[in-house]
Amino acid sequence: MLIDKHNHASILFSKLSQHYGHQRWWPAKTHFEMAVGAILTQSTNWNNASQALANLSRINLLLPSLIHHIPHDQLSEVIRPSGYHNIKASRLKAFASHIYSSYGDDFEAYLNQPVDRLREDLLSIKGIGKETADAIILYAGHQAVFVIDEYTKRLFSRLGQGPSNNLYDDWQDFFHSSIPQVTSVYSEYHSIIITHGKAVCRKIPKCHTCFLVADCKMGQETLKES
């Protein structure tokens, strides 16, 4: 539960939660499926990634050993709906092979590392950046790290909150210092920001329909101009 009633980030979480309700995100049957989904959704939307994930599930490929052994070209074709399928096939194989080499198919054991060590190890895998690594840690590993994405930076910048730069670590530090480090809160907050970003706070925002417009610097400027 958020405890600082005077903290802007806490207040915003309460407002978003009241408006949208519980998000129940990330959709996956297993932790490994969730991690694969995090890679597939890079540079695309969830609809495309979920189609590729469904293809992998349909032919029972959602284990590290199976992705490790499948030929690259075959895997690439299976995940074609995700876009950039050749690149993502390479990333999936690098990820799965890395897990398989030390943990076999026991992805749970891999996740059961101290968070700093787990994050460092994920970032050592080619194609796994900070956002993807943190999504895996939060949603699969159930450890409290805040995932920073473009939806988050866009919303908070428009509200006049957060760092003035675009650096991932500075944005993450902002949330870690503003919001109690509770896994359920971080996962819900991240998912609800995405929901708001897709519905209203888009690249071209729908300020006239936004329930946060009274608190938003950009929203107020947009309304004045209209």
pLDDT in tens, 113-124: 999 999 999 999
Same domain, 109 and 178: no
* Nearest alpha carbon to residue 66 among 18, 99, 102: 99
Q: 3-state SS of 87-111?
A: HHHHHHHHHHHHHHHHHCCCHHHHH
- In a domain? residue 3: no
37 close to 28: Cβ distance less than 8 angstroms: yes
pLDDT of amino acid 16 = 96
Using omega within 30 degrees of 0 as the cis cutoff, is the peptide bond preceding 26 cis? yes
**CATH number of the domain where residue 89 is located:** 1.10.340.30
Number of domains in the chain: 2
Same domain, 88 and 185: no
Of 92, 109, 140, which residue constitutes the final position of a domain?
140
> Max Cα separation, the chain?
59
- Assess whether pLDDT exceeds 90 at residue 191: yes
- Assess whether pLDDT exceeds 50 at residue 223: yes
Instruction: Name the band, by pLDDT with cuts 50, 70 and 90, for residue 4.
Output: very low
Domain of residue 215: give its range. Answer: 8-23+147-225
Same domain, 153 and 186: yes
pLDDT of amino acid 3 = 42
**CATH number of the domain where residue 198 is located:** 1.10.1670.10
Chain segment 32-71, per-residue pLDDT in tens: 999 999 999 999 999 999 999 999 999 999 999 999 999 9
Same domain, 75 and 164: no
